[in-house]
Amino acid sequence: MKHQKRIIAGLCFFVFTLFSVYSQNDREKWVLEHYTKKEYMIPMRDGAKLFTAVYSPKDTTQNHPMLICRSPYSSGPYGEDAGMNNALSNNLYPYSERGYIFVYQDVRGRFMSEGQYENIRSFLADKKGTEIDEASDSYDTADWLVKNLSHNNGRIGVYGISYPGFYALMAGAANHPAIKAVSPQAPVFNWFIGDDFHHNGAFFLKDAFSFMDTFDQIRKERTTEWVDPTVNYEGNDYDFFKNKSLKELTDTYFKDTRPFWSDMMRHPDYDDWWKARSAANACRNFKPAVLVVGGLFDAEDCYGAWNAYKEIRKQSPQTNCRIVFGPWFHGGWDRSLGDSLGRIRFESNTAELYQNNIQLPFFDYYLRDSGNLDSLKEATIFFTGENQWHTFSSWPTKVKHVDLYFCDNKSLSFSKPQKDGVFTQYVSDPNSPVPYDEKITQDRTREYIVNDQRFAEKRKDVITFQTDVLDKDLTLAGSISADLNVAISTTDADFVVKVIDVFPDGFRYGDRPDSDMGGYEMLVRGEVFRGRYRNSYTNPEAFVPGKPTEVKFDLPDVAHTFKKGHRLMVQVQSSWFPLVDMNPQQFINIYTCSSKDFVKSTVSLFHNATLPSKIVLPVLN
């Protein structure tokens, strides 16, 4: 019987695959028959010209809306006879059928565009004359398109994921009258506080080093080609990065060949250079409607999506701004079914629901006067654990903030500890940092953000606390706060707090062999904080060795239900390697020190009546 089921399943998969291939071929054929491609060099106000590929419907009986994606990642294929961008016959096919004009642009200084590229170029609120930023380039592009493309209806939407999401955000700040709707999706927002390269001042080594190896190479001339990486990891990333300081990595691999990397090394704290590059500076006085999109398990720009929405609501309250968060990895709403991540399942095709019921109606409404958005609330959030969508009139929604205390016997309690003098100690050793995942590989996996944490629980340099078995569901909606009372034997240390859903013994998703999830410790949210920044990101402070000190910080928002029968677990540690660089655990410049400066630190976490430690939960009533 099982053999027959496997045969039937195989045949079904074969038929589905065959149907998908034919369907894809049909869509490609349709797009080629109904669209034409043109390439332009669009002039900016300072004289630089930006390469722009335009795909227009052959239908000239009506005017069409425009959908723009500005990107540093290539607008290929290049050449008017080189074929179409494959998105037109894939995830953008419903827009093709509706007759959208598609515009892809290489941002200034990238690939075939002229000018000098600058990472997260600062927004200039009061530009004069020929001064430029990404908002002005968006404005000038929109202005040229409206005036020069035939059969456009004078309405533009701008979208993008990750770095293109940053450019979509800047297009919203441009406030060109033709730009009616923008969708910054997982946008780069602040590379020091929460996105990509730093979290709370701690350097995200693996991602930054790998990305800058290729992306930050100096372009000598305009090109259609990607550059190749120069670094050979020779094994796994844990061993490659271990016992190497940032300066040693820089001197060995990059020297002065990566301009932005070099700039980061010269700005270890949140100074004016970093502050000028925060996208929050552009979030005031937005005119277009905004749809912010993010993934609950986005390992790169989770912070960016939550905070782009919050800053627009704060600085531009009159703007029609909505937010959508699903159970997605980085860009998972666009390039996956969104029904699972790693071994965690979400029980539905969440990406399809988003694409068909939220994004498409959003652009259709503002760009084509089609349909309505009556059913689209301001916040549409998927709650993992219960695996259900919820809608809210705003985010964060109304919650009750509940203290969950660390207690003795490795327990978590909603009651404050009564004993004094209780603490737990561990030694943080730079020669043996805690890995961020059980599997040590060359590449950082996107699944680590929900992976099983039982491997970490076994380590002596990880403290674990957990609740009793929950007798009812516990739903969290918003940011979890960590409030630690600690003492360290050195003058600096990092603190990693991980909030974990412990599945009950015997839990299964179904009958498949990989469905046994009994005892699985699902990472719901983890975050790092560099201790020196506990009072200020701009003015770091050393710890006094042995002195009890409070360290408080927020974790990115969560939307998760800990089901009845599960437990809530918290792990505390001082390294997360090589996801995060190794803090030398001395109050010295981390960007210029040597690996010889790395020292062990004894960390004491207090959890008693006088010096309690806790997390604060945003409990949805």
The residue among 343, 360, 392 that closes a domain is: 392
Token readout for 519 is 């005892």
Q: How confident is the model at residue 621 (pLDDT cuts 50, 70, 90)?
A: confident
- Cα distances from 443 to residues 13, 123, 158, 346, 522, in angstroms, run 30, 33, 31, 25, 21
CA-to-CA distance for 176 and 135, rounded, in angstroms?
9
Residues 521 and 591 placed together within one structural domain of the fold: yes
415: exposed, middle or buried (Cβ count in 10 Å: 0-12, 13-18, 19+): exposed
Three-class DSSP category at 390: strand
What dihedral angle (degrees, nearest 10) is formed by the CA atoms of 352, 355, 356, 357? 100
Residues 477 and 376 in one domain: no
Higher pLDDT, 515 or 111: 111
The CATH number given to whatever domain includes residue 57 is 3.40.50.1820
Burial status of residue 581 (CB atoms within 10 A of its CB: 0-12, 13-18, 19 or more): buried
Looking at the domain assignment, is residue 327 inside a domain? Answer: yes
- The number of angstroms, rounded, from the C-alpha of 544 to the middle of its chain's C-alpha atoms is 35
Residues 490 and 607 occupy one common structural domain: yes
Whether 373 and 451 share a structural domain: no
DSSP state letters, 483-528: EEEEEESSS--EEEEEEEEEPPTT-BSSSSGGGB-TT-EEEEEEEE
Give yes or no: residues 383 and 408 share one domain. no
Tens of pLDDT, residues 265-276: 999 999 999 999
613: DSSP letter: -
Give the model's pLDDT for residue 566.
98
Residue 259 lies in a domain: no
The two structure tokens encoding residue 47: 């004289």
Which band of pLDDT confidence, cut at 50, 70 and 90, is reported for residue 549? very high
Taken in order 454, 455, 456, 457, the sign of the CA dihedral is positive
Nearest to 328 by CA among 307, 291, 309, 301: 301
Secondary structure string (H, E, C) spanning 438-481: CCCCCCCCCHHHHCECHHHHCCCCEEEEECCCCCCCEEEEECCE
Is residue 243 included in any domain, yes or no? no
Q: Identify whether 297 is part of a domain.
A: yes
For the chain, give the percent of residues with pLDDT over 90. Answer: 93
Alpha-helical regions (H) of 269-396: 272-276, 302-315, 332-335, 350-354, 360-368
Give the DSSP letter of residue 78: P
C-alpha to C-alpha distances, 226 to 58, 161, 287, 331, 510, nearest whole angstrom: 32, 19, 35, 21, 44
Is 30 a member of any domain? yes
pLDDT exceeds cutoff 70 at 19 = no
Rounded Cα distance between 526 and 516, Å, is 24
Question: At 522, which CATH number?
Answer: 2.60.120.260
> In this structure, are 546 and 482 located in the same domain?
yes
Together in a domain, 365 and 422: no
Greatest Cα pair distance in the chain = 80
- More confident site: 585 or 514: 585
Nearest Cα residue to 595 out of 197, 241, 254: 241
Q: Please say whether the beta carbons of 345 and 326 come within 8 A.
A: no
Between strands 179-185 and 289-295, the pairing is: parallel
Residue 230 lies in a domain: no
Q: Which residue, among 483, 508, 486, 490, has the nearest Cα to 570 in the 3D structure? A: 483
| Cβ–Cβ < 8 Å for 534, 550 | yes
Which pLDDT tens digit goes with each residue over 582-602?
A: 999 999 999 999 999 999 999
Angle, helices 302-315 vs 163-174, to 10°: value is 10
Considering the domain boundaries, does residue 435 fall inside one?
yes
Q: Where are the beta strands (DSSP E) in 250-378?
A: 289-295, 321-326, 340-341, 344-345
Same-domain status, 321 and 383: yes
Indicate the number of domains in the chain: 2
Of 337, 366, 392, the last residue of a domain is 392
User: Which pLDDT tens digit goes with each residue over 291-306?
Assistant: 999 999 999 999 999 9
Asked whether 598 and 582 are in contact (CB, 8 A), the reply is yes
Binned at pLDDT 50, 70 and 90, residue 126 comes out as very high
Taking the C-alpha atoms of residue 303 and residue 172, their distance in angstroms, rounded to an integer, is 19
pLDDT in tens, 196-226: 999 999 999 999 999 999 999 999 999 999 9
Q: 354 and 438: one domain?
A: no
Domain match, 416 and 383 both: no
Q: What is the pLDDT of residues 148-186, one digit of tens each?
A: 999 999 999 999 999 999 999 999 999 999 999 999 999
Residue at 229 is within a domain:
no
Q: Identify the bridge partners of residue 494 per DSSP, sorted by sequence position.
A: 530
Pair of tokens at residue 282: 């552009």
Helix (H/G/I), strand (E/B), else coil: 172 = helix
> Residue 198: which of 593, 590, 602 has the closest Cα?
590
**Does residue 158 sit in the same domain as residue 113?**
yes
Q: Which of 334, 361, 392 is the last residue of a domain?
A: 392
φ, ψ at 154 (rounded to 5°): 80, 15
How far CA 110 is from CA of 73, 218, 220, in Å, comes to 8, 10, 11
The first and second tokens of residue 327, run together, are: 């159970």
pLDDT class for 324, splitting at 50, 70, 90? very high
Q: How far apart are the first and last CA of the chain?
A: 47
Same domain for 291 and 388, yes or no, is: yes
Residue range 36-61, pLDDT digits in tens: 999 999 999 999 999 999 999 999 99
Identify the domain containing residue 49 by its residue range. 2-190+277-392
pLDDT for 409: 93
